[in-house]
A and B are shown apart, each in its own frame.
Chain A
């Protein structure tokens, strides 16, 4: 039964990684850049939600929506100001800029909200004060946070699959990710599409931030950086640029991390996670679901 407990918390943590990884992978797929500031957008989202709910007494759902709005705008503004001028620049310049944006956001948070940890409120409590359900006579405990996290991740995954597979805008995004020049020839506004991708990725990051801090309630300006890097790892693990890949990579990474913590060593868990990544990349350099499409000529 403890195994099942670990598995469920692994899936839950993995779901958070997956939601963050989706943002990484979509932006990479379309703008062909690694947005290392993505993790810090999570942190901003968590702070916005924290202040909205704890200081301004908004209902949690309103706090989440407000956080999503702020992060969506933040993502678009960052793209417009920091990345768009570098569209023609070498990828190294863009990468360094992304790291710069990451530090900028962390330090801005430090100035605005100080380094004192904030305790994130627990949203997922039933009317009777329960924080979860107990099964098998208390042997298996699943918290509401865990359940919601998994559920929300599945909903996001299905929504994105529908969006990229069925809608005109989503298909245009896929076209842009393959060939921007050809996409422009079709009449697709590539700049607007990239901006849209940042908006979606950052909105998702806000959700991830709220879920992350609901499960691990200590909120500081660097809260987003480690999950951000793990989620980036998850995106590479699953095959960067691939939406199902980010989902799978995120889940596996979360499960591996929790199992490593439980059965190997708490200190070594991150080392185990990255060791698995290295092994996977040695065997499958494009990641688990990364496409290396063969082209006929």
Chain B
């Protein structure tokens, strides 16, 4: 296994607030890696920095050996990195199908039909509603749409930011099932979650973030069983 994503010593600021303080981690090909931590620990900021929405003052982010630092945000998705952002951020006034088409924006349109078919197969619910405006979908459906939209770009690494946020427990289960299926199908996944229990049970490895720093790292199982983690994030 080799690292396809290598984050080294990044520092991100919101104005004068130092949100990420020298974070480093790696994601190997075929893994599910999770970043867990409390609100404000810097999980989303990290993902937003990797995808180019935010910028790091120091350090480097390299993806498949290429330094991403010099690319603007809109160039990053065509490198094979897709982010499903926090809060889903689907295009509410566009139809389900148009949202998926936007996901394939960088694909040049050649394989559009087969890609749509593939995503609809994974998310039959979206196929039923392909003409519906995304704003009328339920939260769970919007999450599926956001994931489907990201998959349209054929990502080598899929980054998911709080995919279970605001969803009913049964839907959370469904979303995690989908994540595991994607993983089995060969997609590398970087998962950010507040639901640490669920995230660590599917993850190969995890990093625990606290106030902008990596404080612990280990395999999913190790972290699940660690007394300190249990106490802090898994409710005892």
Residues of A within 8 A of B (CB): 168, 171-172, 174-175, 178-179, 181-190, 291, 293-297
Residues of A contacting B31 in the complex (Cβ-Cβ under 8 angstroms): none
| A–B pairs, 8, beta carbons within 8 Å | A171-B102, A182-B91, A184-B74, A186-B77, A186-B103, A186-B105, A189-B72, A294-B135
B83 contact from A171, A185, A190, A294, Cβ within 8 A: A185
Inter-subunit contact B135/A295 (CB<8 Å): yes
Q: With A168-B105, A171-B102, A295-B135 as given contacts, are A185 and B94 in contact (CB-CB < 8 Å)?
A: no
Inter-subunit contact B92/A185 (CB<8 Å): no
Inter-subunit contact B102/A186 (CB<8 Å): yes
Inter-subunit contact A293/B135 (CB<8 Å): yes
B residues 184-219 with Cβ under 8 Å of A?
none
Residues of A contacting B92 in the complex (Cβ-Cβ under 8 angstroms): 178, 293, 295
B58 within 8 A of A: no
Inter-subunit contact A181/B102 (CB<8 Å): no
Closest B residue, CB atoms, query A293? B135
Q: How many A-B residue pairs have CB under 8 A?
A: 81
B139 contact from A172, A184, A294, A297, Cβ within 8 A: A297
**Minimum C-beta distance from A36 to chain B (A):** 26
B85 within 8 A of A: yes
| CA–CA, A110 and B162, complex, Å | 57
Residues of A contacting B75 in the complex (Cβ-Cβ under 8 angstroms): 187
How many residues of chain B are within 8 Å of chain A by beta carbon?
Answer: 36
B34 within 8 A of A: no
Residues of A contacting B102 in the complex (Cβ-Cβ under 8 angstroms): 171-172, 175, 183, 186, 188
Closest B residue, CB atoms, query A181? B53
The 5 closest A-B pairs by CB, nearest first: A187-B106, A187-B77, A182-B89, A184-B73, A186-B105
| CA–CA, A257 and B63, complex, Å | 61
Inter-subunit contact B166/A297 (CB<8 Å): yes
B52, B72, B74, B75: which has the most chain A beta carbons within 10 Å?
A: B74
B105 contact from A188, A291, A295, A297, Cβ within 8 A: A188
Q: With A168-B109, A182-B91, A294-B135 as given contacts, are A188 and B98 in contact (CB-CB < 8 Å)?
A: no
Inter-subunit contact B89/A189 (CB<8 Å): no
B78 contact from A174, A184, A187, Cβ within 8 A: A187
Closest A residue, CB atoms, query B51? A185
A185 contact from B53, B93, B101, B109, Cβ within 8 A: B53
| CA–CA, A168 and B102, complex, Å | 8
**Minimum C-beta distance from B66 to chain A (A):** 16
B137 contact from A168, A182, A185, A296, Cβ within 8 A: A296
Closest B residue, CB atoms, query A193? B74
Residues of B contacting A188 in the complex (Cβ-Cβ under 8 angstroms): 74, 102, 105
A171 contact from B85, B89, B101, B166, Cβ within 8 A: B101
Residues of B contacting A171 in the complex (Cβ-Cβ under 8 angstroms): 94, 98, 101-102
Q: With A178-B91, A178-B93 as given contacts, are A185 and B98 in contact (CB-CB < 8 Å)?
A: no
Residues of A contacting B46 in the complex (Cβ-Cβ under 8 angstroms): none
Residues of A contacting B78 in the complex (Cβ-Cβ under 8 angstroms): 187
B residues 33-53 with Cβ under 8 Å of A?
51-53
Residues of B contacting A293 in the complex (Cβ-Cβ under 8 angstroms): 92-93, 133, 135
Closest B residue, CB atoms, query A189? B74
Residues of B contacting A175 in the complex (Cβ-Cβ under 8 angstroms): 91, 94, 102
Inter-subunit contact B93/A291 (CB<8 Å): yes
B136 within 8 A of A: yes
| CA–CA, A178 and B95, complex, Å | 13
With A168-B105, A174-B91 known, 11 other A-B pairs at CB within 8 A are A168-B101, A174-B98, A184-B72, A184-B73, A185-B82, A186-B102, A187-B75, A187-B77, A187-B153, A293-B93, A296-B142
Residues of B contacting A295 in the complex (Cβ-Cβ under 8 angstroms): 92, 135
Residues of A contacting B106 in the complex (Cβ-Cβ under 8 angstroms): 186-187
Inter-subunit contact A187/B105 (CB<8 Å): yes
Residues of A contacting B101 in the complex (Cβ-Cβ under 8 angstroms): 168, 171
**Minimum C-beta distance from A289 to chain B (A):** 13
Inter-subunit contact B74/A190 (CB<8 Å): yes
Closest B residue, CB atoms, query A172? B105
A168, A172, A179, A184: which has the most chain B beta carbons within 10 Å?
A: A184
Q: With A184-B53, A187-B78 as given contacts, are A296 and B138 in contact (CB-CB < 8 Å)?
A: yes
| CA–CA, A115 and B73, complex, Å | 47
| CA–CA, A23 and B94, complex, Å | 21
Residues of A contacting B93 in the complex (Cβ-Cβ under 8 angstroms): 174, 178, 291, 293
Q: With A171-B102, A294-B135, A296-B136 as given contacts, are A185 and B77 in contact (CB-CB < 8 Å)?
A: yes
Closest A residue, CB atoms, query B146? A182
**Minimum C-beta distance from A58 to chain B (A):** 39
| CA–CA, A184 and B92, complex, Å | 16
| CA–CA, A175 and B91, complex, Å | 6
| CA–CA, A138 and B147, complex, Å | 65
**Minimum C-beta distance from A196 to chain B (A):** 14
Inter-subunit contact A178/B77 (CB<8 Å): no
